[in-house]
Amino acid sequence: MKPKERLAIPRQYPKELQPQERITNFDEVVFGFDEETAIKEANRCLQCKIPKCRDGCPIHNDIPEFIRLLREKKFEEAYWKDRETNSIPAVCSRVCPHEFQCEGSCIRGKKGEPVAIGMLERFLVDWMVLNKKNMLKPCAMPKGTKVAIVGSGPAGMSCAFYLAHAGYHCTIYESLPAFGGKLTVGIPAYRLPRDIINAEFDALVNCGVKIVNNVTIGKDKTLQDLKKNGYDAVFVGIGAHASRKLGLEGEDLDGVMHGVDYLRRVNLGEPLNLGRNVVVVGGGNVAIDVARTALRTGSDKVFILYRRTKNEMPASQAEIHHLEEEGVKFEFLAAPVKIHGENGKLTKIECIRMVLGECDASGRCRPVPVADSNFMIEADAIIPAISQDVEHMTDAETKLALSRWNTFEVDEITMQTSVDWIFAGGDAVLGPQTAAKAAYQGKEAAESIIRYLEGRDLTEGRVPEVEETKE
């Protein structure tokens, strides 16, 4: 097929549950491609000599190659090409913001729509499952050396995957009653079905990884305890689970619940009904997840309060589209200034109108309050979802150096912390970021741990990949 013919093929889109049906449950909203659609979409790929999509992928998947194999119907081979670099393709293909990563760098997207890379990756995973193909990578012979992993999110999962397949005995310590970290307690099941996460952990257990829930390192055990118990190295991937507060009067009133806390409680099975009128403050994916979850748990008047416009929202465009389809409304260019209540229960939120002022180098404009523009919104619940911080371990015996963003400070190449036998990665280093970025850092940390345990140079032949946390 000639490039002109490939350019003539329109982007393919998956089928979805209808809005009126999906707001009644937590079933997966987006269906995968069938074989015909996947091949048609794969034929849109131009197989660029300098593939920008690979640079845009935090894990640096060989995207052109697995797409080439896919369109030749070599599905199993394409899947394993993807797995060479990505330990959790079923997860990344569903939850990563592809428009800002691989697809955002696709050459086709410069003058049209990019190749649906995420959906093609998902097709390969789904095809392997549907056809009952072996998806377990062979495990290495055990070396006897023990590594502890703190946190079972994508960074910890990835680190455990590469260490276990190199023969190291890994134990994952998770403070929550469920495993998966933010994947499980921060992402609703309609975006990431729980059987997907369970399958990833089944693969880890198959390679000898032990998973211990309801143990908080720093409280139930210290890092020094782990060392005394025979762990020669530790990886810390505790994520960023602490809600960032608005800092407003009335934020302690009953009816105010912060975004990640709300999602955690719902995803762990707690029955919560926020009432009819719910205001969500924020414009990122967490705010979107909160609003869509509120609809599914009984609230029928949900809207998002955001201090900029729709064009500045950092959330995925697909998620914003789904949100609008499901009936969530927006109040743009508005910010909360005070939360009002009676008898300890919130009744309304006071807001102020905003205008966009000066823009920074990236083009993001600063919201400026409009004088004397205050207005009230009645609400049964208010859920701030503006960002998350790292909730550090209260480990008095072992202090790890922190960055100016209060994340763990690591060597940008090796993921090594200020304590030589402790490594860290994911949101605990980057701040709130994507599953792919966390998985990549877990992979790099695993390589460093292997070198550390073998007494080899940690930096030889490696280049820095860490991105700074956004303020």
Residues whose CB falls within 8 Å of the CB of residue 80, separated by 6 or more in sequence, listed in order = none
DSSP state of 167: T
DSSP state of 108: G
| Max CA distance (Å), the chain | 71
Q: How far apart are CA 413 and CA 406, in angstroms?
A: 19
Q: Give the mean pLDDT per block of 10 residues along the chain (471 residues).
A: 92 96 96 97 96 96 98 97 95 95 95 96 96 88 93 97 96 96 96 94 92 94 95 96 93 96 96 94 96 95 95 92 95 97 96 94 89 96 94 80 93 96 96 95 98 97 64 40
Contact by Cβ (8 Å): 423, 233: yes
Q: What are phi and psi of 293, to 5 degrees?
A: -70, -40
Q: What is the pTM of this model?
A: 0.93
Contact by Cβ (8 Å): 380, 277: yes
Residue 447: which of 437, 465, 459 has the closest Cα? Answer: 459
- Pairing outcome for strands 345-359 and 365-369: antiparallel
**HEC readout, 379-419:** CCEEEECCCEECCCCCCCCCCCCECCCCCECCCCCCCECCC
Q: How far apart are CA 132 and CA 424, in angstroms?
A: 35
At 465 the pLDDT is 65
At 394 the pLDDT is 67
Q: Which two tokens stand for residue 9?
A: 């093929």
Q: Which domains does the chain have, with CATH numbers?
A: 3-130 (1.10.1060.10), 146-241+389-453 (3.50.50.60), 245-386 (3.50.50.60)
Query: How buried is residue 396: exposed, middle or buried, by Cβ count under 10 Å (0-12/13-18/19+)?
Result: exposed
Residue located via tokens 């009230």:
376
Residue located via tokens 């199993």:
76
Contact by Cβ (8 Å): 408, 414: no
At 337 the pLDDT is 97
At 273 the pLDDT is 87
At 468 the pLDDT is 44
Query: How buried is residue 365: exposed, middle or buried, by Cβ count under 10 Å (0-12/13-18/19+)?
Result: middle
Residue 283: which of 319, 253, 247, 325 has the closest Cα? Answer: 319
Q: What are phi and psi of 393, to 5 degrees?
A: -70, 135
Query: What's at 2, amino acid-wise?
Result: K
- As a residue count, the chain comes to 471
Residue 117: which of 134, 133, 97 has the closest Cα? Answer: 97
DSSP 1-32: --HHHHHTSPPP---B--HHHHTTS---SBPP
Q: What are phi and psi of 132, to 5 degrees?
A: 55, 40
Residue 123: which of 41, 38, 191 has the closest Cα? Answer: 38
Contact by Cβ (8 Å): 337, 248: yes
How many whole angstroms from its chain centre is CA 347? 33
Helix 35-42 × helix 63-71 angle, to 10° = 130
Contact by Cβ (8 Å): 336, 369: no
